[in-house]
Amino acid sequence: MFVFRLLFLLAFAAPVWAADQEAETDRFLREVFTQPPAPEILWLAGELRPAARAILEHDYPAVRVRYWRIGQRTAWVLDEIGKELPITVGISVDHGAVERVRVLVYRESRGWEVKSPAFTRQFDGARLTARQTLDRGIDGISGATLSVRALTRLARLALLFHNHVVGTVART
């Protein structure tokens, strides 16, 4: 019965989340590019699919990912499950380093502290190592462990995707 109620509530919440996500995505892209370019598509094929799986510890739920690019700067809007619900995050990467992380839509009931600029600034300048990890540690937040892990995985994933489309080589 609980599952039925949850699905019923999610069916009505989905259009609201979609509207929020679209508005937040537009705002994020204007922050990154001022005049956002047309979106491009990255197909998760070949070695990219298992590399993404290794970072996420599960398959990415889509076969293609939309992104925006001007020169060496890319922007990604990615989703990852925190504890139970998806967290939508905008990540911009410039010359192989995270430029900005912004939580666009947070749907969990706890762990909202990951939206704080004080937390997301930790990712600024982070790069992907040859082992597909970040070149720095990210401090956790008590009570938001799963959300912190989700954002960290998404930052790694955005760097992986960026390096794939731009051709940046990971550092050791």
Predicted confidence (pLDDT) per residue in 136-165, tens digit: 999 989 888 999 999 999 999 999 999 999
Residue 48 lies in a domain: yes
What are the pLDDT digits (tens) for 63-93? 999 999 999 999 999 999 999 999 999 999 9
Domain range for 14 is 2-166
Residue 171 lies in a domain: no
- Return the SS3 of 70: strand
The model's confidence at residue 110, banded by pLDDT at 50, 70 and 90, is confident
What pTM value is reported for the model? Answer: 0.86
Note the pLDDT of residue 172: 47
Residue 31 lies in a domain: yes
Tell me the backbone φ, ψ of residue 80, rounded to 5 degrees: -150, 145
CB atoms within 10 A of CB 29: 19
Residues 6+ apart with CB under 8 A from 55: 132, 153, 156, 157, 160
Tell me the CA end-to-end span of the chain in Å, nearest whole number.
51
How many structural domains is the chain composed of?
A: 1
Residue 95 lies in a domain: yes
Asked if 41 contacts 160 with a C-beta cutoff of 8 angstroms, the reply is no
Asked if 101 contacts 151 with a C-beta cutoff of 8 angstroms, the reply is yes
CA–CA gap between residue 27 and residue 155 (Å, rounded): 19
